Amino acid sequence: MTDIIQLLPDHVANQIAAGEVVQRPASVVKELMENAIDAGASTIKLIIKDAGKTLVHVIDDGKGMSVTDARLSFERHATSKIRSADDLFQLHTKGFRGEALASIAAIAHVELKTKQDHEEVGTCIEIEGSTIVSQEVIVTPKGTSIAVKNLFFNIPARRNFLKSNTVELRHIIDEFHRVALAHPNISFNLFNNGSDVFNLPSSNYRQRIVNIFGTKTNEKLVPVDEDTEVLKISGFVGKPEFAKKTRGEQYFFVNDRFIKSAYLNHAISSAFDGLLKNGTHPSYFLNLTVNPQTIDINIHPTKTEIKFDDEHTLYALLRSAVKHSLGQFNIAPVLDFDRDATLDTPYSYKDNGASIPKIEVDRSFNPFKEGDAGLGKQTTSFKRQTQATSHWDGLYVGLESKGNDSPEDFSEMYFESEESSSSLFDDENEMDKVQTTHQIHSKYIVSAIKSGMLVMDQHRAHQRILYEEFLQNMTIKEGASQQLLFPLQLHFTPQELVLIEQLKTDLQRTGFVFSNISEASVEIIGVPVSVPESEVSIILEQLISDVENEVPDSHFSATDLLAKSMAKSLAIKTGQTLKKDEQEHLVNRLFACKEPNVSPTNRKTFITMSVDELDKKFI
């Protein structure tokens, strides 16, 4: 029998490795920026075109590479970070596996320019699909410049799996944020299609957060600082009142490396227990410093997951540190048994000095003098108001007694009644109506039909109703709007404002009226009739999240996505009790829709059960 196992060619092995390292353009951004940081760069520039599909260009002023190192860097498992297996447990750098550049070069056109400080000229290498096209001497500044062009040019199937430019750009910005937040001492610049997106100068950690997420973020931050033998914690958490519906602003850094950990995230949520609204998530930007020997980084291809030796201790310390900071800065209520709250100075008297009491004495007062006997003459300072009771019988003069049979007694009677609150539907002839619908567990609506019964999911059904309503308003451009008494000002990050600017036209068709969109905020003076003012910020946050994360293929329009997002935010929630008329109205409106069977996300809105099926349940 012939042998069937054989070694793969290098170019095939590189393409397979590229599948682990390079999933999308954001993966290239991460690897190249981390290499620049390991090279000791103080300034890093990231230039992208078409969300990284056409170009990802990283320029740094690090120490650069020699001619031999530049050529060897594109070989598999070639690295300057480790020498032996023991070094894997003493990692102080970002990359160490030596597969990044080799994997990137296997699926793209790569141009590398590099020069060391003591050399007069540098090296330029061009590679296409793992094949070195040219290597020559050039004049270039100190540092390294790597341009990755036409990603997945030789693997069309992989390129077709890439999402839209909006989604891919969001992933690139996420990776940019993670690297920039971990290294506030390094200056970063991001250019997208020729426009300057981020310009982050070297600063402290708080200022770096504010530069990325907007000036309004400064007032949201609560510092966290704890130093123990096992763990050092530093950074910030967001105040509970600024918690968001999405998990966008949650960052853990372990030894200056971004990680994802559901276990540690639960520790933060536990520290905020009782302070957050239902369905919201806290923001945090926390740096954890631990001994490198107590963690294992090389358990995931993207190195975003880390295995800790003692997770339970880290959990307890992290939870306690956050809880302590919230209490220390009066964010969370605390019990202090050594302080008597009754002795606190009222706020209005805080800066006022103590006034010396004045005593006035009537020196002419003589109790034995005629006319001053008894209680004596009242002084002007202490006058007592008394009611004369000597002529008590005069109090009833003018009142006439009337008999019980007088026709004027209680001729008209008025009763105070509670003001009836208006309902969404008219309650006329309520007793004459027969209830045809019933609500179960504040989630499902059961209605009798000719063949049996119908069970409807109230949340999904209302989503379908609102979706078609919003879609119709945006299509025929007749969305009704209600003016706000006071303008509503909402604050967003720069990249979120770019998305709102793109969706402004469609939002206006639904009924939103914008008076101003500045660099850090949005001012709204009108909202759709069906949208409460308190829900506006939630709707826009959800919309931005949907656009960034859930944009399907290009054949789905932004109008369709906007209608889906608004319908999801405004639909009746599970757990909301509905009146009888509201239940019936919901059923009637659902079956007036064009496609009542499914929700906007293609899930069933109702099911039916015939009488025969019910009979079989009792057999």
Q: Contact at 8 Å (CB) between 149 and 54?
A: yes
pLDDT 10s digits, 297-345: 765 666 677 777 888 888 999 999 998 888 887 776 655 556 566 666 6
d(CA 165, CA 148): 17
Predicted confidence at residue 189, as pLDDT, reads 93
Q: What percent of the chain has pLDDT over 70?
A: 76
Of 170, 259, 166, 233, the closest CA to residue 250 belongs to: 259
Neighbouring-strand partners of residue 437: 447
d(CA 228, CA 221): 23
Predicted confidence at residue 451, as pLDDT, reads 85
d(CA 508, CA 515): 11
Helix axes 25-38, 165-182, angle to 10 degrees: 20
User: Token pair 């409460």 is at which residue?
Assistant: 532
Average pLDDT value for residue range 345-366:
74
Q: What DSSP state is assigned to residue 598?
A: B
d(CA 455, CA 461): 11
Q: What percent of the chain has pLDDT over 90?
A: 20
pLDDT of 490 > 80? The answer is yes
Which range has highest mean pLDDT (50-59, 65-74, 159-168)? 50-59
**Angle 448-449-452 (CA atoms, 0-180°, nearest 5)?**
85
Q: Give the pair of three-digit tokens for residue 13.
A: 């092995």
Instruction: Break the chain into its structural domains and give their ranges.
Output: 10-200, 205-328, 438-608
pLDDT of 8 > 80? The answer is no
Q: Contact at 8 Å (CB) between 140 and 124?
A: yes
pLDDT 10s digits, 29-46: 998 998 898 888 999 999
Give the pLDDT band of residue 186 (cuts 50, 70, 90). Answer: very high
C-alpha dihedral sign at 562, 563, 566, 569:
negative
Burial class (CB in 10 A: 0-12, 13-18, 19+), 555: exposed
pLDDT 10s digits, 246-256: 777 889 998 88
In the sheet with 250-254, reading across from the earlier edge strand, the strands are 221-227, 232-238, 284-289, 250-254, 257-259
Pick 153 or 389 by higher pLDDT: 153
Give the pLDDT band of residue 3 (cuts 50, 70, 90). Answer: confident
Mean of the per-residue pLDDT values of the chain: 79
pLDDT of 374 > 80? The answer is no
Average pLDDT value for residue range 195-201:
90
Identify the CATH class of 10-200: alpha beta
C-alpha dihedral sign at 328, 330, 335, 339:
positive
Q: Contact at 8 Å (CB) between 221 and 238?
A: yes
Q: What are phi and psi of 88, to 5 degrees?
A: -65, -20
b or e along 287-313 (b: 16 or more beta carbons within 10 Å of the residue's beta carbon)?
bbebebeebebeeebebeebebeeeee
CB atoms within 10 A of CB 449: 12
CA 468 to chain centre: 27
pLDDT of 162 > 80? The answer is yes
Give the pLDDT band of residue 558 (cuts 50, 70, 90). Answer: low
- Please name the residues in contact with 187: beta carbons below 8 A apart, sequence gap of 6 or more: 42, 43, 44, 200, 201, 202
Whole-Å CA distances, 155 to 4, 163, 314, 346, 362: 26, 15, 43, 72, 106
pLDDT of 99 > 60? The answer is yes
Predicted confidence at residue 433, as pLDDT, reads 47
Q: Contact at 8 Å (CB) between 235 and 321?
A: no
Q: Parallel, antiparallel, or unpaired for β 284-289 and 250-254?
A: parallel
Q: Contact at 8 Å (CB) between 95 and 38?
A: yes
d(CA 526, CA 511): 7
Predicted confidence at residue 49, as pLDDT, reads 93
Whole-Å CA distances, 240 to 249, 276, 317: 13, 6, 20
Neighbouring-strand partners of residue 353: none
Identify the CATH class of 205-328: alpha beta
Burial class (CB in 10 A: 0-12, 13-18, 19+), 283: buried
Predicted confidence at residue 553, as pLDDT, reads 45
DSSP 319-373: HHHHHHHHHHTTSS----TTS-GGGSPPGGGTTPPPPPP-----TT--TTSTTS-
Predicted confidence at residue 45, as pLDDT, reads 94
Query: CATH classification of 438-608 is 3.30.1370.100, yes or no?
Result: yes
Radius of gyration of the chain measured on its C-alpha atoms: 36
Q: Contact at 8 Å (CB) between 191 and 197?
A: yes
- Please name the residues in contact with 285: beta carbons below 8 A apart, sequence gap of 6 or more: 181, 205, 209, 221, 235, 236, 237, 249, 251
User: Token pair 């520039």 is at which residue?
Assistant: 45
Following CA atoms 186, 192, 197, 202 in sequence, which dihedral angle do they give, to the nearest 10 degrees? 10
In the sheet with 606-610, reading across from the earlier edge strand, the strands are 437-440, 444-449, 452-457, 606-610
Check for a shared fold between 205-328 and 438-608.
no
Q: Parallel, antiparallel, or unpaired for β 187-192 and 43-49?
A: parallel
User: Token pair 């059960």 is at which residue?
Assistant: 609
pLDDT 10s digits, 435-488: 578 888 888 999 888 888 889 999 999 999 988 888 887 776 666 788 888 888
Give the pLDDT band of residue 143 (cuts 50, 70, 90). Answer: very high
Give the pLDDT band of residue 11 (cuts 50, 70, 90). Answer: low
Q: Contact at 8 Å (CB) between 15 and 105?
A: no
Q: Give the pair of three-digit tokens for residue 442.
A: 């504040």
Q: What DSSP state is assigned to residue 98?
A: S
